[in-house]
């Protein structure tokens, strides 16, 4: 049994700010290549890790132009919803979204959290479960989202999640670490959401895989370096053979992502840093001169000392609020 996993396709009808190419045309070429890979590898099953669409309700024309290609995949597609597929990070809105509609038409199958699907092909029985993105993911007990309740009546259990699963800690981003979920009953955990992906992690015969997004939306240096790919998992012979297939239709990051925008952003933040530094240096001087002005006014107007002191006190408080 062979599985093709891909994730974060962010189907949309226009260009992200940082892309220099015709993004919808590129997307169509990539999807056609995914169809070809699925066919070449004779996959029995395709799994999408979420963020199928870039918006919960893209236009009908945009949807048709992409699903016209995706429906040629010669195997069933199972998917979960990513944060971009739903409104307000709430999977309860799925029925009002394009992903919900597409699933209603039978163009793909949406996994239902907590429900097991069994697929049997070439003598292998697979248990498939999934978890959509939701507002509490990576903030509550990871077992609730990243682990199926159990593995039952099957050879291999696969669990798919759209969440920030990382192989090592990353500051400032709400995430879940692989080491927190190594007790999962699933043999294979497939993850989307983290577009950069990570190298395959194997712990005690359990596989934690994220091959990265099919598209590069941001001009982050990591994205420029990265090559879009899909993951082929071969379960025949009792093992879990993995192959990352790089998309030949993808172009080098430098050609599609606008470095000029990065340069401008870096320049802007550099200038901002210089400006803040200059402000800090000026602050003592400015502060002294404000005090001098208050003193001058107080003297000129013959104000009572208490008034002058109150004014200076308020200026000091304001200075403190501004961070000294
Ligand atoms: Mn995404």
- 124-163 pLDDT, tens digit per residue, is 999 999 999 999 999 999 999 999 999 999 999 999 999 9
268 or 42, which is more confident? 42
Quote the DSSP letter at residue 88: T
pLDDT band at 286 (very low <50, low <70, confident <90, very high): low
> How many angstroms does the Cα of residue 114 sit away from the middle of ligand 1?
22
Cα–Cα distance measured from residue 247 to residue 250, given in angstroms and rounded to the nearest whole number = 6
The answer, yes or no, to whether residue 267 has pLDDT greater than 50, is: yes
Do 265 and 242 lie in a common domain?
no
Do 217 and 137 lie in a common domain?
yes
Do 30 and 130 lie in a common domain?
yes
Do 180 and 304 lie in a common domain?
no
Domain boundary among 211, 236, 257: 257
Do 96 and 28 lie in a common domain?
yes
The whole-number pLDDT of residue 14 equals: 93
269 or 30, which is more confident? 30
Do 147 and 265 lie in a common domain?
no
> How many angstroms does the Cα of residue 90 sit away from the middle of ligand 1?
15
Do 174 and 285 lie in a common domain?
no
**Count of domains forming the chain:** 2
The whole-number pLDDT of residue 139 equals: 94
50 or 295, which is more confident? 50
Q: State the alpha helices, DSSP H only, in 302-323.
A: 305-321
Do 54 and 87 lie in a common domain?
yes
**Can you count the helices (H) and strands (E) in the chain?**
8, 14
> How many angstroms does the Cα of residue 192 sit away from the middle of ligand 1?
7
pLDDT-wise least confident of 18-22, 154-158, 271-275: 271-275
Do 223 and 300 lie in a common domain?
no
The parent domain of residue 210 ranges over: 2-257
The answer, yes or no, to whether residue 288 has pLDDT greater than 60, is: no
> How many angstroms does the Cα of residue 115 sit away from the middle of ligand 1?
24
Quote the percentage of the chain above a pLDDT of 70.
95
> How many angstroms does the Cα of residue 307 sit away from the middle of ligand 1?
58
> How many angstroms does the Cα of residue 250 sit away from the middle of ligand 1?
18
Single out the residue of 192, 183, 187 nearest to residue 207, CA to CA: 187
> How many angstroms does the Cα of residue 303 sit away from the middle of ligand 1?
63
Domain boundary among 257, 277, 299: 257
pLDDT band at 324 (very low <50, low <70, confident <90, very high): very low
Quote the DSSP letter at residue 11: B
> How many angstroms does the Cα of residue 215 sit away from the middle of ligand 1?
9
- 162-211 pLDDT, tens digit per residue, is 999 999 999 888 999 999 999 999 999 999 999 999 999 999 999 999 99
> How many angstroms does the Cα of residue 157 sit away from the middle of ligand 1?
24
The answer, yes or no, to whether residue 256 has pLDDT greater than 60, is: yes
The whole-number pLDDT of residue 262 equals: 67
**Mean of per-residue pLDDT scores for the chain:** 92
The answer, yes or no, to whether residue 283 has pLDDT greater than 70, is: no
> How many angstroms does the Cα of residue 161 sit away from the middle of ligand 1?
12
pLDDT-wise least confident of 24-38, 89-103, 195-209, 292-306: 292-306
Q: Which residue has the tokens 């208050």?
A: 294
The answer, yes or no, to whether residue 266 has pLDDT greater than 80, is: no
Do 110 and 181 lie in a common domain?
yes
Burial 163-194 (b: 16+ CB within 10 A, else e): bbbbbeeeeeeebbbbeebeebebbbbbbbbb
> How many angstroms does the Cα of residue 155 sit away from the middle of ligand 1?
30
- 28-56 pLDDT, tens digit per residue, is 999 999 999 999 999 999 999 999 999 99
Do 123 and 179 lie in a common domain?
yes
Domain boundary among 237, 257, 277: 257
> How many angstroms does the Cα of residue 315 sit away from the middle of ligand 1?
47
The whole-number pLDDT of residue 287 equals: 52
Could you tell me the two tokens for 94? 């799925």
Do 237 and 290 lie in a common domain?
no
> How many angstroms does the Cα of residue 16 sit away from the middle of ligand 1?
13
Cα–Cα distance measured from residue 40 to residue 223, given in angstroms and rounded to the nearest whole number = 27
The whole-number pLDDT of residue 321 equals: 74
Average pLDDT over residues 52-62: 96
Average pLDDT over residues 294-301: 85
């Amino acid at each position: 049994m062979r599985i093709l996993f891909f994730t974060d396709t962010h189907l949309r009808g226009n260009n992200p700010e940082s892309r220099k190419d015709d993004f919808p045309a590129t997307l169509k070429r990539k999807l056609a290549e995914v169809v070809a890979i699925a066919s070449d590898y004779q996959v029995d099953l395709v799994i999408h890790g979420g963020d199928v669409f870039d918006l919960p309700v893209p236009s009908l024309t945009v949807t048709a132009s992409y699903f016209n290609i995706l429906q040629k995949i010669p195997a069933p597609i199972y998917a979960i919803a990513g944060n971009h597929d739903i409104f307000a990070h709430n999977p309860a809105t799925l029925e009002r979204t394009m992903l919900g509609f597409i699933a209603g038409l039978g163009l793909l199958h949406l996994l239902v959290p907590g429900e097991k699907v069994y697929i049997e092909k070439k003598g292998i029985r697979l248990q498939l479960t999934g978890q959509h993105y939701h507002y509490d993911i990576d903030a509550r007990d990871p077992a609730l989202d990243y682990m199926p309740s159990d593995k039952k009546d099957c050879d291999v259990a696969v669990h798919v999640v759209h969440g920030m699963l990382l192989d090592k800690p990353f500051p400032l981003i709400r995430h879940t670490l692989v080491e927190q979920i190594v007790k999962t009953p699933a043999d294979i955990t497939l993850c989307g959401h983290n577009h950069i992906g990570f190298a395959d992690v194997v712990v005690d015969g359990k596989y934690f895989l994220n091959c990265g997004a099919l598209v590069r939306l941001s001009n982050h240096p990591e994205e420029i370096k990265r090559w879009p790919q899909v993951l082929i998992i071969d379960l025949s012979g009792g093992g879990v053979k993995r192959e990352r297939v790089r998309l030949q239709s993808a172009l080098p990051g430098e050609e599609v992502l606008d470095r000029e925008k990065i340069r401008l952003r870096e320049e802007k933040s550099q200038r901002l840093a210089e400006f803040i530094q200059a402000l800090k240096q000026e602050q003592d001087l400015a502060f002294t001169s404000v005090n001098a002005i208050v003193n001058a006014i107080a003297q000129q107007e013959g104000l009572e000392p208490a008034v002058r002191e109150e004014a200076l006190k308020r200026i000091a408080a304001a200075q403190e609020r501004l961070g000294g």
